[in-house]
Amino acid sequence: MSTQTFPVTGLTCGHCVGAITSELSVLAGVTDVQIDLVVEGTSTLRVTADQELTDDEVTQALDEAGDYKLASV
């Protein structure tokens, strides 16, 4: 099991959290998705999965969910 943390921008409400959670939850091996929402700031996304996800996989899920982006760290 691996838990990864990603900084994400563009979230404004609980609907955003739900959309991202839905998109990531369907990826193979993902067992948990948690988001600490910071409205119009940098939110924290935590994904627990059987194996680590790539930035590309997370970026694609964010694109499918809406106008959300991985933030630069």
Model confidence over 35-53: pLDDT tens digits? Answer: 999 998 999 999 999 999 9
The pLDDT mean for the chain works out to: 96
Read off the pTM: 0.94
Output the six-digit token pair for 19.
């959309």
Residue closest to 35 by CA, chosen among 7, 55, 72: 7
Query: From the CA atom positions of the chain, what is the Rg in Å?
Result: 11
Output the six-digit token pair for 51.
């194996």
Instruction: Give, in words, the CATH class of 2-70.
Output: alpha beta
Instruction: Say if residue 12's pLDDT is above 70.
Output: yes
How large a percentage of the chain has pLDDT more than 70? 99
- Pairing of β 69-70 and β 42-49: unpaired
| Alpha helices per DSSP H over the chain | 14-25, 55-65
- Residue ranges of domains in the chain: 2-70
Residue linked to tokens 């630069």: 72
